[in-house]
């Protein structure tokens, strides 16, 4: 099994536990916070993933960090301890991402990404999100990025469907029509 597959299994098990007895959204926030903590401290992540450090020492460090941080739910704590015992702390970021996917799926929220040539204002982002929700017929988790190469317009990916309203694509279509007319 691949590392991403293993991370998905940890995330799935955590989701199954917290869906019955806890708050899945809180568990997701806790897992994201721990993942952000690990990724923002390169030396910590290196120590927690190094084969030179024993699993028991990694677990002890993890427990100390979680106690100092406070507020991490018992289900997430137990999963992280289990990952430490099995020397899988390098998968925390993938597990957090997989858990987030599982939450969105349970809430029937489709991921949507928009690409624009310039950054969107908050009003533009909200308007675009409302239009995508209306077109998709479901809630969306919108992420936006800037790519000056599209010149203008918007490219939106909603789930597996792509809506390309970029100036670059319109120019390509115009070029194709002109070459077909000859």
Which domains does the chain show, CATH number per domain? 3-105 (1.10.520), 108-181 (no CATH)
- How crowded is residue 112: how many other Cβ atoms within 10 Å of its Cβ? 24
> Is this model's pTM higher than 0.75 or not?
no
Percentages helix, strand, coil for the chain (3-state, rounded to 5) are 65, 15, 20
Mean pLDDT of 110-118: 92
Query: Are the CB atoms for 104 and 47 separated by under 8 Å?
Result: no
Rounded to 10 degrees, what is the CA torsion of 34, 36, 42, 44?
A: -10
Which of the 8 DSSP states describes residue 88?
Answer: -
> What's the pLDDT score for residue 22?
78
Mean pLDDT of 100-117: 90
> What's the pLDDT score for residue 108?
85
Q: Does the pLDDT of residue 66 top 70, yes or no? A: yes
Element (H, E) at 157: strand 153-158
């Amino acid at each position: 099994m691949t590392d991403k597959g293993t991370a998905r299994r940890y995330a799935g098990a955590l989701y199954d536990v917290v869906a019955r007895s806890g708050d899945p959204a809180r568990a997701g926030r806790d897992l994201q916070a721990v993942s952000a903590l690990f990724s923002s401290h390169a030396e910590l992540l290196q120590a927690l993933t190094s084969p030179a450090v024993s699993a028991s020492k990694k677990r002890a460090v993890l427990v100390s960090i979680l106690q100092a941080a406070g507020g991490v739910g018992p289900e997430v704590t137990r999963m992280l301890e289990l990952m430490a015992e099995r020397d899988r702390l390098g998968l925390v970021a993938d597990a957090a991402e997989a858990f987030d996917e599982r939450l969105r799926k349970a809430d029937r929220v489709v991921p949507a990404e928009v690409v624009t040539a310039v950054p969107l204002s908050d009003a533009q982002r909200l308007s675009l999100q409302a239009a995508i929700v209306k077109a998709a017929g479901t809630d969306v988790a919108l992420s936006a990025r800037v790519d000056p190469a599209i010149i203008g317009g918007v490219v939106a990916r909603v789930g597996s469907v792509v809506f390309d309203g970029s100036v670059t694509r319109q120019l390509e279509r115009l070029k194709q029509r002109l070459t077909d007319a000859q």
